Structure formats: C-alpha cells, structure tokens
C-alpha cells in the first residue's frame, strides 16, 4: 500500500512540475511568493460568492487585529503587480494554498485548496474578448501538452483531450439548452466538445439568473464584448469520463476597471465596499489593468492521472466513514 501511494506521489510531482514550467513559458510569468493570510477588513481576500466564511483569528502583536486565511489571491495578485512594477505582458505565478471551510465535500471539492494563481499586466486596449480567448488558448495548449507528456512518462495513461478548445458565451449556452440547469448545460457542452471555455459568468442571463456566482470586485462579468454579450471572464471545462461529468480546471478573466467595479458593486448592492483598501486603490488609478485566474493543482493532477477523487492527489480532512467506503471501492486517499 505504502509503495503504491509513493508512486502516485511521484506522478503528482511530475504533473505539477511539467504544468507549471509550461505555464510560465506560455504566459511569461515570474514565480513569486504568496501569503496564506491577509488582514481582515481590507477587501483583499477573495470573497468567492460573497457568503463563504474565511478562517479568521486575532494577531497578538497587532493588538488583536484579525487576519483571514485566503480563499484565493485574486485581488492580492493585482496589488503585487503594482508593487513589483511589472510592465504589460509581464505576470506573476504563485503556488497558492487556501482554506475554504464552507466548501461542500465531493469527489472534486475539499476544504483545502491548492492552485496556481497567476496574474498578468495588460494594456487597457486589450480589455476585450479577443485577448481573453487568445490567453485561454495558450493555457489550454499547456493543458494539452501536459497530458501528452504524462502519456510519454506513463504510457498506460492515454490522452483524451481534443487539440482545440471550444468557446461559447453563457447566454448562448442557455439558448442551446433552455430547459437545463447551469450544471446540466456544462455537462452537455463539455461532453459534446471535450474542452470548452464558457465566458460571461456572473451577470444575469435572459432567464434572470447568472450561469454561476462570481464576486463583484475582480473578474469583469458586466462589460459588453464583441459577440454582443456581456462578460470578459469565464471557466475552462473539460469532459471527465472517469466521473462522467464536466470538470472545471480554471476560473479566470480580465479584471474589472473602475467602471466595471462600480457597475458590479451596484448590481450586488455592495457599493459600501468601495471604501475598502483594495477598491480605493483601483478607483484612484493605483492598480494596473490585468488578466488572471486560478488553475486547480489537484484538479489538474486528478485529470492527468485519471483518478476519481480529489483525496487521491491531496492530503485533507475527510469524513472517516466516507474514507472507509472509498477504500472498500479500491479508492485509496493520501
């Protein structure tokens, strides 16, 4: 049992090193250190859908000022771009670790989150759908090439990804499957194309509902795009035949400018947040225009190694009964 797990750990390391190396080259990213905690009340932590509770604690040496364990580094990275004085088309890559205690357990969800968080400075003229698609295609090429490299290293793991990724707006997807839920629509389109980027996630569609939730203050989901829809953000999904479902590998997008920030805060009835540190920096032209996202490390490893549970590629806390049930099925968690 132990040697079997050790071999899997070596395969996980191979996948992570291969992917990270190729991603740095594809997007011109510089690896940087990143925090596990940030101060509360600054607006820097990722609020996800706005309802998830972060892990928080008082800091004795700061008169019990509270800190929160990050959910992700969506906003911190943009501040870091400014601090490092990076030029347009230069970016950063972090090896992020986060805790999301309100996450519901599933074969693809854990309270422990590990992802490649990346951010790149861009020119204001590149705040458009064409630039977003170009960036997605570069990331997808890295995903595709990593799967090919895994096949060379481990010939018994056969590649399944298509050579290209399909693009569709969340509104077009709704019109294509008007009687389906958001997740059902994702399953249908991912199964049809094998790999898809759904863009325009966060704002309400013509059915009055968003495709999925997004925070108001990092991805731009409200600006009109060249296709006549709204949104300069989205998700990279692939079809996972092991789990028989659409499988999200990355959430990403062009970040809000001042106009989009105020629009989205107003839509979410959160205009009071403009007083926070991060938001003030953006509203006072102290932050660069940027594009960025997170790519799940455990998700990438699951997909590349054709495994069925996230606990097979990361160490986290699991319900003991569930661990026993999985072990009885031959699924051995780390």
128-166 pLDDT, tens digit each? 999 999 999 999 999 999 999 999 999 999 999 999 999
Give residue 1's pLDDT.
57
Q: Is 114 a catalytic residue?
A: no
Burial 38-61 (b: 16+ CB within 10 A, else e): bebebbbbbbbeeeeebbeeeeee
**Mean pLDDT of the region 188-213:** 97
Give residue 90's pLDDT.
98
Q: Which of 47, 217, 235, 289 is catalytic?
A: 235
Gap between the Cα atoms of 235 and 167, Å rounded: 10
**Mean pLDDT of the region 79-106:** 92
State both tokens at 206.
Answer: 């013509």
Q: Is 119 a catalytic residue?
A: no
Range scoring the smallest mean pLDDT among 40-44, 74-78, 182-186? 40-44
Q: Which of 78, 80, 100, 185 is catalytic?
A: 100
Give residue 92's pLDDT.
98
Q: Which of 34, 72, 110, 115 is catalytic?
A: 115
Q: Is 124 a catalytic residue?
A: no
Q: Is 235 a catalytic residue?
A: yes
Give residue 161's pLDDT.
98
Give residue 2's pLDDT.
67
Which pLDDT band holds residue 89 (cuts at 50, 70, 90)? very high
Q: Is 48 helix (H, G, I), strand (E, B) or coil?
A: coil
Q: Is 46 a catalytic residue?
A: yes
Which candidate, 75, 183, 199, places its Cα nearest to that of 128?
A: 199
Question: To the nearest 10°, the Cα dihedral for 116, 144, 159, 328?
Answer: 20
Is it the case that residue 280 has pLDDT exceeding 80? yes
Q: Which of 251, 290, 312, 316 is catalytic?
A: 251
**Mean pLDDT of the region 261-275:** 94
Overall pTM surpassing 0.85 (yes/no): yes
Gap between the Cα atoms of 334 and 331, Å rounded: 10
Q: Is 100 a catalytic residue?
A: yes
Q: Which of 171, 248, 257, 289 is catalytic?
A: 248
Give residue 48's pLDDT.
63
Q: Is the dihedral of CA 139, 110, 245, 240 positive or negative?
A: positive
Instruction: Report yes or no: 184 and 190 within 8 Å, Cβ to Cβ.
Output: no
Give residue 103's pLDDT.
81
Is it the case that residue 49 has pLDDT exceeding 80? no
Give residue 93's pLDDT.
98
Residue 276 is given by DSSP the state S
| Percentage of the chain lying above the pLDDT 70 cut | 98
Is it the case that residue 322 has pLDDT exceeding 80? no
Non-local (6+) Cβ contacts of 200 within 8 A are 169, 170, 171, 211, 221, 225, 229, 230, 231, 233, 234
Give residue 47's pLDDT.
66
Range scoring the smallest mean pLDDT among 37-51, 91-105, 148-162, 223-237? 37-51
Give residue 78's pLDDT.
95
């Amino acid at each position: 049992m132990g040697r079997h797990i050790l071999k899997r750990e070596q395969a996980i390391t191979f996948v992570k090193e291969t992917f990270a190396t190729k991603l740095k080259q594809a997007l011109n990213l510089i690896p940087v250190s990143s925090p596990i905690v940030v101060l509360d009340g600054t607006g820097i932590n990722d609020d996800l859908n706005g309802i998830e509770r972060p892990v928080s604690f008082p800091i004795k040496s700061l008169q019990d000022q509270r800190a929160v364990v990050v959910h992700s580094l969506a906003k911190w990275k943009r501040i870091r771009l400014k601090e490092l004085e990076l030029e347009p088309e230069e970016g950063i890559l972090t090896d992020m670790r986060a805790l999301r205690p309100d996450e519901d357990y599933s074969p693809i969800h854990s309270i422990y989150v590990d992802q490649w968080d990346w951010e790149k400075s861009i020119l204001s003229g590149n705040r458009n759908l064409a630039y977003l698609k170009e960036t997605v295609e570069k990331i997808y090429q890295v995903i595709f090439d990593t799967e090919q490299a895994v096949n060379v290293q481990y010939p018994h793991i056969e590649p399944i990804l298509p050579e290209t990724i399909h693009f569709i707006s969340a509104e077009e997807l709704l019109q294509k499957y008007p009687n389906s839920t958001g997740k059902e629509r994702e399953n249908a389109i991912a199964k049809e194309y094998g790999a898809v980027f759904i863009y325009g996630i966060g704002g309400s569609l013509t059915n009055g509902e968003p495709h999925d939730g997004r925070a108001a203050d990092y991805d731009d989901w409200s600006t009109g795009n060249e296709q006549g829809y709204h949104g300069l953000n989205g998700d990279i999904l692939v079809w996972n035949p092991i789990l028989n479902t659409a499988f999200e590998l990355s959430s990403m997008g062009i970040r809000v400018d001042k106009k989009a920030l105020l629009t989205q805060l107003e839509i979410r009835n959160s205009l009071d947040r403009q007083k926070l540190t991060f938001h003030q920096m953006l509203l006072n032209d102290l932050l660069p225009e940027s594009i960025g996202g997170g790519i799940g490390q455990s998700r990438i490893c699951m997909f590349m190694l054709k495994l069925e549970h996230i606990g097979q590629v990361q160490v986290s806390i699991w319900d003991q009964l569930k661990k026993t049930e999985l072990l009885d099925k031959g699924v051995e968690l780390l």
